[in-house]
Homo-oligomer: A and B are copies of this chain.
Amino acid sequence: MKLVPLGDRVVIKALKAEETTKSGIVLPGQSKEKPQQAEVIAVGPGGVVDGKEVTMQVKTGDKVIYSKYSGTEVELDGEEYIIVKQSDILAIME
């Protein structure tokens, strides 16, 4: 069984191996959204989302930085995934 995201949604799987932020001092504004690394598992078709044309820019297998507290955790067949909107993905790591 697999997850097929709708619209501009992306299914990602968090990478847990290394801590992403090691900075000792956490500033108020920045601590609100803690970035995290993840791998893209499935990508929605894009198209018109909320009345706006969205082109998907990430693809399955991409390693990405996403806003940690965005998205929705989903467990399927014992695996944990996160479903985010593409706009919650900040950058691709190459």
Mark A residues whose CB is within 8 Å of B.
1-7, 9, 11, 20-23, 27-30, 33, 35, 42, 47-55, 57-58, 65, 67-76, 80, 82-83, 86-87, 89-94
Q: How far is the CA of A90 from the CA of B5 in the complex (A)?
A: 6
- Select A27's contact among B5, B33, B69, beta carbons within 8 Å: B69
* New A-B pairs, 17, CB < 8 Å, besides A3-B65, A20-B74, A83-B91: A4-B93, A6-B86, A6-B92, A9-B91, A21-B74, A21-B75, A27-B69, A27-B73, A30-B69, A30-B71, A30-B73, A35-B83, A42-B91, A47-B55, A51-B53, A72-B90, A74-B91
Q: How far is the CA of A75 from the CA of B94 in the complex (A)?
A: 14
